[in-house]
Structure 1
Amino acid sequence: MRVHFHGAAGEVTGSMHLVEAGGRRILLDCGMIQGGRGAEARNFEPFPFEPASIDALVVSHAHIDHIGRIPRLVWQGFRGPILVQRAGAELMPVMLLDAASLAENDADRENRRRRAGEPEAMPLFTRDDVQGVLERLRPLDYDARTQIVPGVEIALRDAGHILGSAIVELWADGRKLVFSGDLGPHGTPILRDPTPIREADLVLMESTYGDRNHRDRIDTIHEFGELLDQAWNARGKVLIPAFAVGRTQELLYWFARYWDEWKLARWRIFLDSPMAAKVVAIYDRHQALFDADARQVWKGRPAPFRLPNLHITETTEASMAINRIDNGAIVIAGSGMANGGRILHHFRHNIERRGTHVVFVGYQSEGTLGRRLVDGAKWVRIHGHDHRVAARIHTIGGLSAHTDQRGLIDWYGHFQGRPPLVLVHGEDKAREALAGELGERGGVDVRLARPGRVVEV
């Protein structure tokens, strides 16, 4: 069994790993590279393998940095099955169609501004391209060991990251590979904890927060409540960049649970996303995957997805109307790294106002607008215009969808015999810190994935 690393190998986005085993070629994830213009331009580069040579694609979950290049893979010749957990299979078309729409709109905007002689901007993929992906989807349930091609079997285990997220166990050539996908924190709301795995010959593990530990969740909740009070007293607005799948649902969960303590009845809450209603409906259909606490909250009043002052805005006109509200509004909008989507329009209208509070609740990749704001940028460029940052910028790390250093070490610690470990999906600073912590425990063969590197087991 040989593993070739082609994405999320020294960075957080663009997950893509190729496994050669049993005379077959299995691709694990095929995600979009996210960041600045230079990073995102790499999505248009040719694949480092022939797409038609791939026998099957296994998807860990439906976030765009794990699925965003699949339409191009199909368009360029991939004809195998796409294996994904059942709830993830429902989320994929929603995510891909939204990404396609954003890409088409961005290309149109650039083409309206291009000068004579400049090349025409093209979207990474279109809504028509997504149809070819949907025809190849093969939904699987958790915990069912399945032969996906002759000589190769997989089982998907709950990763606790977003709905339908999976740890992949893969058997071939008498060997077993375990790919963590993205692992959620222990005790995260709504979802169950990541499944511990006991046996492997090789482990590929994410390392997004390999260099830090999250704040205690109780402290995080206290901080969030104080932040809302500050914004209310300042007669301001709260803007929360959040991915439509994962953090958005958790935020609504906390709003329901702390409805009285946070005095949320006085606010107008906007979920400004054209796909929000679809995602909410998918979560509602899969409550069997929720943990016990979430099922209890869903039975209470108010229910998270039915808050009395929650407005789900799907049309452009409804989204624009939010910017006519000067205060008393909480706006949740994508994208989570503020590198596109409707949150940019809210930033344009509000980031120069001192009463505005911007709250980041997830990881911000290098090169993104979100990362620049978190790092303290005083000026930012949005849609071709420079804006002075007067808003207060907050990072609420305790709400991350990724587990922290302690969680990663604990999850790996369940393996018997300390199998070889390759760290993926992390920047070097985080991976090196995690490798050092694991090395101190002795006997762990830890390697850092690099683009083009091959590991054999």
Structure 2
Amino acid sequence: MKIQFIGGARTVTGSCYVLDTGRHKILIDCGMFQGNKELEQWNEQSFPFNPGEIAAVVLTHAHIDHSGLIPKLCKQGFSGPIIATHSTVDLCSIMLPDSGHIQEAEAEWYNRKRRRRGRPQMKPLYTEKDARYCLSQFQGIPYDQCTQVVPGITIRMRDAGHILGSAIIEMWVNTPEMDSACKLVFSGDLGSKQQAIVKDPAFIDEADYVFIESTYGDRLHGERVDRGEILGGIVQTIQKQGGNIIIPSFSVGRTQEIIYELSKLLHEGKIAPLPVFIDSPLAIEATRIFRRNQEVFDEESQQYLRQGMDPLSFPGLQFVETVEKSQRLNRVVSGTIIISSSGMCEAGRIKHHLKHHLWRPKSHIVFVGYQAQGTLGRRIVDGARRVRIFGEDINVLAHIHNIEGFSAHADQAGLLEWLASFTYKPKKVFIVHGEEAVSLHFAKTVSETLGLDAHVPYRFETVTYGEAIEITGHASAGKEPVKLPDGLEYALESVTLASLELQNVLQSQALSPAQKQEVLERLAVCVEALEQSAQDCEE
């Protein structure tokens, strides 16, 4: 049995792991890389496996950094089931087509420039139609029920408490070639106990190997009461002094949590009623899906429902359905809250609102989620005094707030508590889904605090399970990390990916003698070029 790390290794996004039992290959997640341009270029690379050989995809949750390359996978030959919770299936039905629409819009934007320069047109990663086509392959299953994925692999999904439908994957692998069954646990994205609407993450009793996220593996969140008070305090400020509140927010999960918190503040009389605009078509649809899946809400939300209160609605809450209505909001300069996407400010209507409010001294920009390196949101949070939006330099004069307590990810204490809950210690813990420095810090903390064997894998690293674990597939495996320039890092990753893809193709193709000779001659040219690069590096 082998597992290869395709994404989510020493980076937060792009979660994807290939499990190969020798009889079947399945994917755990198939996410999109998000963040800076170098990272997003990895989405254009070929998969280092044949999509047609994948028997199934097991999906932890609907966020695009976990699901966003599924349409590409299906487009390139994957025809098996995509197994997820019912709520995740519902959310993917809106999130993946929305992602396809974004891919088309971005390709068209680049192509307008390319046409003016006489350069060839680029194709979108996938289209909205591609995304809708793959939805028929989704299969919803309930929490806490054992399900056979393929012969020899059985899973059970437990609530991860991250967003609606998010799951921890318990996976039992038992094939005739194995001496005994092996249990793997994939944490997916673990939620925080401070989080509203969704339940707390489930604890797991035992596992042989654990794969745990580490987004916030180096920090602690504020208390829940603090975040509510902070948000309420900002609202009180604009109600007394004027100005608007702009909240860049992820459409799924975070927006609904902000609605919930504002609803509580209003019901408790801590803020006066005011207009609150949800300016994101995806967030609007997601909120409606949340309302249809109330049976998986946490106890506090269920209690509100039993009292006849809708935790996702209040007087003054308005959905902005059209672009025209969104544009009219730019003329409102005081007394409102605008919640819009994308959460990292890289696309969507939020960029227009930032353009119209960042330069206003009375405006308040409230960040309530993770901001990846290289994003507009990260630059603002890090204190940039001027940013470029739609080709225009905008001075940052607004008040900038970053309320980390709203995070849908467990902090270091939450992650450690979850790991410590295992009755029987796992043989090894793989630290994934985190920026490199954070993952390394968390691995050290896990080893020192819990006495567990923790490892931070590299991209394309392969772990082979037997009497002893063998880790291969990356030149840096087992070494201290060395930071390379982004362009060089991308070029080397591309070479690695191309070699893996070549291995897959050669293993699956029967070549004639003439074809073999052609391959050998071309490989000789590649080897010569690589040897020259090695000599240049030595000099």
The TM-score with structure 1 as length reference comes to 0.96
Pick one of 439, 445, 452 that aligns with 1:437: 445
> Which residue does 1:233 correspond to in 2?
240
Q: 1:433 to 1:343 in 2, by over 3 A?
A: same
Number of aligned residue pairs: give it. 457
> Which residue does 2:173 correspond to in 1?
172
* Matched-pair contact (CA < 8 Å) for 2:10–2:436: yes
CA–CA separation in structure 2 for the residues paired with 1:265 and 1:112: 47
For residue 135 of structure 1, give the secondary structure of its aligned residue in structure 2: helix
**Equivalent residue letter for 2:11:** E
**Equivalent residue letter for 2:78:** F
> Which residue does 2:256 correspond to in 1?
249
The TM-score with structure 2 as length reference comes to 0.82
CA–CA separation in structure 1 for the residues paired with 2:430 and 2:229: 37
For residue 266 of structure 2, give the secondary structure of its aligned residue in structure 1: coil
For residue 189 of structure 2, give the secondary structure of its aligned residue in structure 1: coil
Pick one of 220, 223, 233 that aligns with 1:213: 220
**Equivalent residue letter for 1:27:** L
* Matched-pair contact (CA < 8 Å) for 1:275–1:314: no
Q: Deviations over 1:162-219 (max 9, x none)?
A: 0000001111131111000000012421111101001111100000000001011112
> How far 1:332 sits from its partner (Å)?
0.7
Residues 232-311 of structure 1 aligned to structure 2 (within 5 Å): 232-260=239-267, 264-299=271-306, 303-311=310-318
**Equivalent residue letter for 1:389:** V
CA–CA separation in structure 2 for the residues paired with 1:417 and 1:275: 42
> Which residue does 1:327 correspond to in 2?
334
> Which residue does 2:68 correspond to in 1?
68
CA–CA separation in structure 2 for the residues paired with 1:260 and 1:160: 25
> How far 1:278 sits from its partner (Å)?
2.1
Percentage identity across paired residues of the two chains: 44
CA–CA separation in structure 2 for the residues paired with 1:401 and 1:440: 26
Q: Deviations over 1:411-447 (max 9, x none)?
A: 0111133211000000122212211221213531100
* Matched-pair contact (CA < 8 Å) for 2:420–2:450: no
> Which residue does 2:40 correspond to in 1?
40
Pick one of 315, 324, 346 that aligns with 2:322: 315
> How far 1:119 sits from its partner (Å)?
3.2
* Matched-pair contact (CA < 8 Å) for 1:208–1:402: yes
> Which residue does 2:373 correspond to in 1?
366
Backbone CA RMSD of aligned residues? 1.6
For residue 306 of structure 1, give the secondary structure of its aligned residue in structure 2: coil
Moved more, 405-414 or 381-390: 381-390
For residue 181 of structure 1, give the secondary structure of its aligned residue in structure 2: coil
> How far 1:259 sits from its partner (Å)?
0.5
For residue 380 of structure 1, give the secondary structure of its aligned residue in structure 2: strand
> Which residue does 1:113 correspond to in 2?
113
CA–CA separation in structure 2 for the residues paired with 1:246 and 1:347: 21
> Which residue does 2:436 correspond to in 1?
428
> How far 1:107 sits from its partner (Å)?
2.3
**Equivalent residue letter for 2:454:** V
CA–CA separation in structure 2 for the residues paired with 1:120 and 1:317: 30
Structure 2: gaps spanning 5 or more residues: 175-180, 466-539
> Which residue does 1:82 correspond to in 2?
82
**Equivalent residue letter for 2:69:** R
* Matched-pair contact (CA < 8 Å) for 2:266–2:273: no
* Matched-pair contact (CA < 8 Å) for 2:35–2:375: yes
CA–CA separation in structure 2 for the residues paired with 1:111 and 1:119: 8
For residue 46 of structure 1, give the secondary structure of its aligned residue in structure 2: coil
> Which residue does 1:124 correspond to in 2?
125
> Which residue does 1:23 correspond to in 2?
23
For residue 323 of structure 1, give the secondary structure of its aligned residue in structure 2: helix
* Matched-pair contact (CA < 8 Å) for 1:352–1:388: yes
CA–CA separation in structure 2 for the residues paired with 1:52 and 1:63: 24
The structure with the largest alpha-carbon Rg is 2
CA–CA separation in structure 2 for the residues paired with 1:262 and 1:323: 28
* Matched-pair contact (CA < 8 Å) for 1:10–1:428: yes
* Matched-pair contact (CA < 8 Å) for 1:228–1:262: no
Pick one of 346, 352, 367 that aligns with 1:339: 346
Runs (4+) off by over 6 Å: none
> Which residue does 1:201 correspond to in 2?
208
CA–CA separation in structure 2 for the residues paired with 1:265 and 1:227: 12
Moved more, 96-105 or 135-144: 96-105
**Equivalent residue letter for 2:300:** D
Q: Which has the higher contact order (CA 8 A, sep 6+)?
A: 1
> How far 1:22 sits from its partner (Å)?
5.7
CA–CA separation in structure 2 for the residues paired with 1:169 and 1:306: 35
> Which residue does 1:150 correspond to in 2?
151
> How far 1:53 sits from its partner (Å)?
1.4
For residue 312 of structure 2, give the secondary structure of its aligned residue in structure 1: helix
For residue 30 of structure 2, give the secondary structure of its aligned residue in structure 1: coil
Please state which structure has a larger fraction of its residues in helix.
2
> Which residue does 1:392 correspond to in 2?
399
* Matched-pair contact (CA < 8 Å) for 2:301–2:311: no
> How far 1:449 sits from its partner (Å)?
1.8
